[in-house]
Amino acid sequence: MELAIEMILGALVGYLLGSLPSGYWLARIVGGIDIRQYGSGSTGATNILRTLGKGPAATVLILDLLKGMAAILLTQRLLPGQDWAVVAAAWLAVLGHSKSIWIGWQGGKSAAISLGILLALHWPVAIATLGTWIAVLSLTRIVSLSSVMGALTTPLWMYLGQQSLAYIAFGVVGGAYVVIRHRRNIERLFAGVEPQIGQKLNVPLAPPRVNQPFLGLRSRRLSRRE
């Protein structure tokens, strides 16, 4: 019973931090747009990069990493030595990032926040996962494929790093979830139409809903490109 309560507390901490829609908020502030109506519809850094550029994308990436780290570090502080409670926080942070209560149960694809979680859980595993991501990206220049391969290899790095069963379980479940979140990308990969980094994704979406009072120079450039 005590473990169940600890896991519920960890899950609550993880979800509340993970669900903060940093990409959505930044796109509203910087570009005056609803990022869900552009590109892939994701609120993550890759879609921000294609839509608003490198600066906003880097900011979102850092914020998502910090969200993941904060969820783990806070839970470890509240519940020291309770690996399963920490993993519950990790799982729900990943879920909250992609299914945020604040923006209609939408969000990103959970790759960046997962890396932040790994940095807080055991940084060598995070470095190994990031190394996998970089290696695949250097060969293919496809971010989604790099994220999928990083997710698939995370349980292996956890096992080789002699991590606890709870941490390995996070690697398996969290990695599988990241792959599932990339299912549309995987379909495009098999169809040969998944864009490389720097290329624009052409997918049918609803007409963009633009918040006029927030429009700035970047929004005008975006309109000209489209």
- Tokens representing 169? 């379980």
Tell me what the pLDDT averaged over the chain comes to: 89
Half-sphere exposure of 90 (CA within 13 A, CB side): 33
Range of the domain at 46: 2-225
Quick one: tokens of 102?
């604040």
- Cα angle for residues 216, 221, 222 (degrees, 5° grid): 95
The more confidently predicted of residues 37 and 203 is: 37
Q: What is the pLDDT of residues 106-153, one digit of tens each?
A: 999 999 999 999 999 999 999 999 999 999 999 999 999 999 999 999
Percent of the chain's residues with pLDDT above 70: 88
- For the chain, the domain total comes to 1
**How many Å apart are CA 73 and CA 88, to the nearest integer?**
13
Residue with tokens 């979800």: 15
Rounded Cα gap, residues 132 and 148, in angstroms: 10
Structure tokens at 166: 């709870």
CB 85 within 8 A of CB 96: no
Distance of alpha carbon 97 from alpha carbon 95, whole angstroms: 5
d(CA 84, CA 169): 9
Copy the structure tokens of residue 124: 């060598």
pLDDT value for 201: 62
